[in-house]
Amino acid sequence: MVSPSGPSDEKKPQPAQEENSDTLKYQLLGPSLTKAGQDAVDQQKVSEIIYEASKGSKFFNHEQERDRNLTVKIERIRKEKARLERLDLSHELRRADEYLAELESTRDLSQYVIHVDCDAFFAAVEELDRPELKLVPMAVGKGVLTTCNYLARKFGVRSGMASFVAKKLCPQLVLLPQNYEKYTAKAKEIRAIMAQYDPLFESASIDEAYLNITPYCVDNNMNPEEVVQQMRAEILETTKVSVSAGIAANAKIAKISSNQNKPNGQFRVANERSAIMDFMRSLPVRKVNGVGRVFERELSSIGIETCGDIYPHRALLTKLFGEKAFQFLAQCYLGLGRTKIEPVETHERKSVGTESTFHEIGDKEVIRAKLNWVAQELEKDMARTQFKGRTLVLKVKLHTFEVLTRQTAPPRAISQAKDLYAFALPMLVKLEKDIPGMKLRLLGLRCTNLVSTKKPGINFFGVVAAPPPSRPALIENSDGNTMEHEISAEEAFETAARQEIQDEMNDLEQLSQEAANIPDSPPAAKSINSSPPPQWDCPICGRAQAADDRLFNDHVDFCLSRQTILQAVQDTSDPSEQGFSSAPSRKRKPISQSSSDPRQKRLFFQ
């Protein structure tokens, strides 16, 4: 719902009904309540401080609105539940039980899956360089905290929190800027060790991974606890970073378990049905990956707090939350999860996007400059990932924190900044028309319906190159009225449509050629070799990127500098200029640290 109220939302007194602010306060505590290190914290007091620090801000008002909407939704759920309970639910009950039985028959207890999670990773890496930081509450991140050490958590500080709020909770908090290069290097060391235990391990993020250690246990005649104990000790010994781990029959329970004895601990749920069911029965649903603050409240409202509570409500779940949610909850109750662990490279990407936040902007010209900047960024990402998009999604966040998206399907797949901009602008213009006085705090672009432009490996010669004739640039004249924009936008569509017909025959061939010829794409794009080499995954973007050390390093440098630029440019008035000028010099990593190289390669090619 678009609030047409541009500047009209001066803070209204809002006194009439002093609504219950408990749920809002809980909401304001942030999403990372389940993180470790919060047990001894007085959450009541913390939420009061956060509430006071936030009160009256636009962010706060938006959260308040969301909270009100959720409260309404929950009331509907409760009413619906009451209505359903007066009906005959035997059919639903039978259907639920049949599904549970079917799920049960798929239970696989033969695998030892582990989830490894670094403890306060970014903070821990910083403490390695400056041990004195271990003695003070410290967090990494500027506007919003990325992570914090355990001393800081004692004050209620946590990741995702605005730093000025964190300072209120803990005035002596030391804030450090992010240094991805350092974290990436350290993560690489850790992964090198994990690869020895499962060469097909799955990186879930820079500081998390899943491993299937079943073969290792068999080969070395060890039980899983011993293996994990040994691996954690080895990681701590050689990288000086402590990790926690969960051991279970599947990824879902392993993930939950790794949080159980954090930091620097491990926890196992035995590969036995009864042990799993016992564990799940008392487990708060919020601990399960996929249950966030909203779903937690919805479930709580009908009496589900733990996974054990799911069973007596099984007949209601589909009607109240939908089929998928029912299936998800059924798996939670039974403690089922996937046992297949595979490298991330095998997953197919579905979208590529960029977004950036800035100070409130109302000026149309400045907004266009921002859009252009975002389009330039996305072009780089499209080149890096070697995709074009058949669908383009524009995302804006209004000054009120309300988020809107609009999408369009250009007549052919696009990836160049000028195309991204040209097809995004009409959507922006329409928003400007619909929301008079629109002020933005974020702009983003995302391509979906991806078309791969990866080189097919053949086709070195006979390039018909002939790049598509440049489309009308669709430059908005300064102070132009919206009419003109819309007309030129339609023209752009028509031109592009005509062009598509022309291009239709050789389109696919051309796509791959263009990808190989993009001048400022990261170096990896140039590696056209004859044999398919093993791929390495970039610790920044997490994707397989290059064939050898040098190209891999080039790519990582590219990713790193991009991150740094994005961070440096944030909230500057003219990003396209200042971003690059203020970008710190790129530091190369040593090529081919011989000793740590060969064994990290993946064995999945064949």
Partner DNA sequence: GCGGATCAC
Partner DNA sequence: TATGGTGATCCGC
Under rule CB under 7 A, residue 54 binds DNA: yes
Three-class SS state of 268: strand
CB of 160 to DNA, least distance (A): 4
Nearest Cα neighbor of 457 from 380, 551, 527, 553 is 527
DSSP alpha helix (H) spans, 282-322: 293-301, 317-321
Shortest CB 589 distance to DNA, Å: 21
- Binding part of the chain for DNA, among 56-64, 215-223, 235-243, 467-475 by CB under 7 A, reads 56-64
Note whether 31 binds DNA by CB under 7 A. yes
Contact 122, 145 (CB under 8 A): no
Report the nearest approach of DNA to the CB of residue 455 (Å). Answer: 20
Q: Which two tokens stand for residue 472?
A: 């009308």
Task: Give the binding-site size for DNA (rule: CB under 7 A).
Answer: 71
Neighbours of 275 (CB within 10 A): 17
Which of these segments, 129-137, 182-190, 234-242, 401-409, binds DNA (CB under 7 A)? Answer: 401-409
Choice between 205 and 238, CB closer to DNA: 205
Least distance to DNA, CB of residue 63, Å? 8
Residues 6+ apart with CB under 8 A from 21: 51
Q: Provide the pairing of β-strand 266-268 with 243-248.
A: parallel
Selected range binding DNA among 54-62, 192-200, 308-316, 473-481, rule: CB under 7 A? 54-62
Instruction: Determine contact, residues 408/468, Cβ cutoff 8 Å.
Output: no
Question: Is the Cβ–Cβ distance between 271 and 248 less than 8 Å?
Answer: yes
The CA-atom distances, in angstroms, between 435 and each of 63, 251, 425 are: 21, 45, 15
Smallest gap from residue 379 Cβ to DNA (A): 13
Q: Which of 87, 93, 403, 528 binds DNA (CB under 7 A)?
A: 403
Q: How far is the CB of 159 from DNA (least distance, A)?
A: 7
| Beta partners for residue 113, in sequence order | 212, 248
Least distance between DNA and beta carbon 146 (Å): 6
* 460 belongs to the binding site for DNA (CB under 7 A): no
Between 158 and 364, name the residue whose CB sits nearer to DNA: 158
Nearest Cα neighbor of 311 from 289, 283, 338 is: 283
Least spacing, CB of residue 194 vs DNA, in Å: 15
Site for DNA in 100-159 (CB under 7 A): 143-144, 146
Count CB-CB contacts under 10 A for residue 433: 13
Which range, of 104-112, 233-241, 318-326, 527-535, touches DNA by CB under 7 A?
318-326
Q: How far is CA 259 from CA 288, 417, 445, in A?
A: 11, 43, 35
User: Is 3 one of the binding residues for DNA (CB under 7 A)?
Assistant: no
Instruction: Give the integer Cα–Cα distance in Å for 606 and 264.
Output: 37
Give the span between the Cα atoms of 146 and 128, in whole angstroms.
17
Which of residues 46, 148, 162, 334 is near DNA by CB under 7 A?
A: 162
Q: Which two tokens stand for residue 361?
A: 């902007």
CB closer to DNA out of 213 and 332 = 332
- The CB-of-295 to DNA minimum distance in angstroms stands at 3
Q: Which of 102, 164, 223, 498 binds DNA (CB under 7 A)?
A: 164
Residue 40 engages DNA in binding (rule: CB under 7 A): no
Min dist CB 407 to DNA, Å, is 4
Range 559-578, binding DNA (CB under 7 A): 566, 570
Nearest distance, CB of residue 170 and DNA, angstroms: 14
* 166 scored as a contact of DNA (CB under 7 A): no
* Smallest gap from residue 87 Cβ to DNA (A): 18
Find the binder of DNA among 177, 290, 532, 584 (CB under 7 A): 290
Nearer residue to DNA within complex by CB, 137 or 444: 444
Shortest CB 298 distance to DNA, Å: 8
| From 4, 292, 303, 436, residue interacting with DNA (rule: CB under 7 A) | 292
User: Count of alpha carbons within 13 Å of 176, Cβ hemisphere only?
Assistant: 22
Task: Select the residue interacting with DNA from 57, 172, 220, 517 (CB under 7 A).
Answer: 57
Closest CB to DNA among residues 69, 573:
69
Distance CA(423)–CA(401), nearest Å, equals: 24
| Separation between Cα atoms, residue 273 and residue 284, nearest integer Å | 19
- Least separation in angstroms between CB 322 and DNA: 3
Location of structure tokens 């936030």: 54
Smallest gap from Cβ 428 to DNA, in A, equals 12
Site for DNA in 342-381 (CB under 7 A): 347, 349-357, 381
Residue range at the interface with DNA (CB under 7 A); choices 130-138, 161-169, 224-232, 499-507: 161-169
Binding positions for DNA, 254-283, rule CB under 7 A: 255
Residue among 300, 297, 296 at smallest CA distance from 287: 296
Dihedral, CA of residue 133, residue 139, residue 140 and residue 143, to nearest 10:
-140
Which positions from 190 through 209 interact with DNA, judged by CB under 7 A?
204-208
Of 41, 49, 200, 325, the one binding DNA (CB under 7 A) is 325
Q: Interface with DNA includes 296 (CB under 7 A)? A: yes
Q: Which is nearer to DNA, 230 or 407 (CB)?
A: 407
Distance in angstroms (rounded) separating the CA atoms of residues 569 and 229? 43
According to the binding rule CB under 7 A, does residue 70 interact with DNA? yes
Pick 130 or 349: Cβ nearer DNA = 349
b/e code 449-471 from CB counts within 10 Å (16+ = b) = ebbbbebeeeeeeeeeeeebeeb
DSSP-derived letter for residue 319 is: H
Residue of the chain from 41, 78, 160, 261 that contacts DNA (CB under 7 A) = 160
In sequence order, what are the residues at sequence separation of 6 or more whose Cβ sits closer than 8 angstroms to the Cβ of residue 406? 393, 394, 427, 430, 431
Q: Which of residues 529-548 bind DNA (CB under 7 A)?
A: 541
* DSSP string across 192-227: HHHHHH-TT-EEEETTEEEEE-HHHHHHHT--HHHH
